[in-house]
Amino acid sequence: MAHLSYLGVLLFIVVGTGWLEVVLRTRVYRRWKRLLLSVAPLVALFVAWDLYAIARGHWTFDADRTTGVLFPGDLPLDEVAFFVVVPIAAILTLEAVRSVKGWTVGDEVEPEAPR
Amino acid sequence: MTYTQLGVLAVAGTVVLDLWILRTRLLRRRAFWLSYAIVVFFQLVTNGLLTGLRIVRYDAAAILGDAQPVFIGAGRIAYAPLEDLLFGFALVTQAMAWWVFWGRHGVQRTPVAGPPRRWVTGGVLGTPPRDDGPAPGGSGDDQAP
């Protein structure tokens, strides 16, 4: 079970933010196309950063506490999952704040005419 | 580059992305800063687990602190290197900025978030209950094919 430690932390984040979708009606997962478009550039950028950091030895992962599934460049599956889970949690939080406080975030108006 | 240098660069890049490239200007909105305050608290908890349990370990040469995770001090906060705050800020802020960017460009602007379920607003959170009518901008069913 120890090798699921990293994924366990991620599960905590998914569960810890998932209720916002239901109770505060954030409607983030429901807008999955917009979510996909938002997360994709982050996965690309932060995977690149991660690959650089792994290659340079900035950080290492405990083989006993991660799944052991590695992508090319010794990138753990757990890390890729992190770059999906954390941005979704951030977006859920922003929409939860909007839901509760009624504050604007900047997407309420029509966009400016095409440049 | 070290993790420290990359972290500073990432924060600068995030500011440029939000203010001038995507023009989302989230950094000027209180909704963003409240969201970030919530996220950073939970980052300290979850990242504290990842670093305190040594699931992730850091090379002392790449960070301000040293390789030994301590709760606070020696370049660490809740076991994590201070640099993780820079990394986290970049990841979280860019996520929100892209989300708002696509909304501004008409990608699933609706169904909008909220209002919270009435038993929440009436009880736990203590704010006055709102109408149960459709939220401004759509009831949530306008995306149905």
pLDDT tens per residue across span B21-36? 999 999 999 999 999 9
pLDDT at B144 over 50: no
Residue pair A88/A31 in contact by the 8 Å Cβ criterion = no
CB of A46 within 8 Å of a chain B CB? The answer is: yes
Question: For residue B141, what pLDDT band results from cuts at 50, 70 and 90?
Answer: very low
Question: How far does CA A62 lie from the centroid of its chain?
Answer: 21
Q: Which of residues 56-85 of B touch A (CB under 8 A)?
A: 56-59, 62-63
pLDDT tens-digit map of B54-84: 999 999 999 999 888 999 988 999 999 999 9
Residue B87, pLDDT score? 98
Give CA separation, A88 vs A72, A95, A102, B52, in Å: 25, 11, 20, 24
**Distance between CA atoms of residues B80 and B93, nearest Å:** 19
Task: Give me the total of CB pairs closer than 8 Å, taking one residue from chain A and one from chain B.
Answer: 185
Side-chain half-sphere exposure of A9, counting CA atoms within 13 A: 28
Cβ neighbours of residue B127 under 8 Å, at least 6 residues apart? A100, B121
Residue A1, pLDDT score? 87
Give CA separation, B30 vs A32, A53, A105, in Å: 25, 33, 9
Residue pair B57/B45 in contact by the 8 Å Cβ criterion = no
Q: Which of residues 6-25 of B touch A (CB under 8 A)?
A: 6, 10, 24-25
Q: Which of A42, A105, A108, A112 to mutate to test the interface with B (most CBs of B within 10 A)?
A: A105
pLDDT at A49 over 60: yes
> Tokens representing A35?
């979510």
The beta-carbon neighbor of A87 closest among B91, B135, B140 is B91
Question: For residue B121, what pLDDT band results from cuts at 50, 70 and 90?
Answer: low
pLDDT at B132 over 80: no
Neighbours of B60 (CB within 10 A): 12
Overall average pLDDT of the A83-107 stretch: 96
Between B126 and A18, residue with greater pLDDT = A18
The beta-carbon neighbor of B103 closest among A34, A89, A102 is A34
